[in-house]
Copies of this chain bind each other. A is one copy, B any other.
Amino acid sequence: MQEAIFLMHDSLFKHIEIRTSEKLTDYEKEIISDAFAKKRMRKRQFFLQEGDVCKHLGFIVKGSSRMFSVDEKGHEHIIHFGLESWWLTDPESSIQLIPSRYFIEMLEDSELLVISLPDVYELRNKSRGFDLTFRALDKFSTIAMHKRIHAAIGMTAEERFSDLSSTYPEFLKRFPMNMIASYLGLSPETLSRVRKNAIRK
């Protein structure tokens, strides 16, 4: 089992080294390994539930997730998906330490690396590579969210779907269409019709 543990952390090391274009030192690898705990989660398990304060950060080694809210009518709205090398957190809850309005649910049996938020703060001060990774992630997610806002307020249903197809083709392979619809802010019926029209072209 030791080997499996090593492999899991290795996927995180690789992620950091790619994001920062720098090699991690042995010391950095050691303190990072120590701070992250591995956690297996099964399909439909919740990493975070509405009302809880988000006190941990998760890194997806294997598997997938969705982050969604439930409105008064009981309708779900998917804010984010997660795949390998993506991070799990509710920034609003974890930064302000308030109860979350969201659920984060695993969509497949998954392997995660989990770290507490105080430990994130400490690691950022101890490891330059770790700190740079989080700066880069903030930038990356800012760009992604900008695009998402632009799509949501300025595009038609077809445009949003075709945009998604080219930006995240993986989503279409891994997630059911009703969830894709929710992510795009459409009803499943509308997405079904949009796709039928798109095929004709």
Chain B residues within an 8 Å CB radius of A143: 91-92, 95-96
Stretch in contact with the other chain, from A6-14, A15-23, A147-155, A191-199: A147-155
- How many A residues have CB within 8 A of the partner chain? 27
| Binding-face segment, A26-34, A58-66, A134-142, A163-171 | A134-142
Copies in the complex: 2
Q: Contacts of A139 on B, CB cut-off 8 Å?
A: 91, 95, 138
Secondary structure of the A side of the interface? helix
CB of A122, distance to nearest CB on chain B (Å): 15
| A184 shortest CB reach to chain B, Å | 7
**Are B185 and A153 closer than 8 Å at their CB atoms?**
yes
Chain A residues within 8 Å of B, Cβ to Cβ: 69, 71, 75, 77, 79, 91-92, 95-96, 135, 138-139, 141-143, 145-150, 152-154, 183-185
The 3 A-B pairs at the shortest CB distance, nearest first, are namely: A153-B185, A152-B152, A77-B154
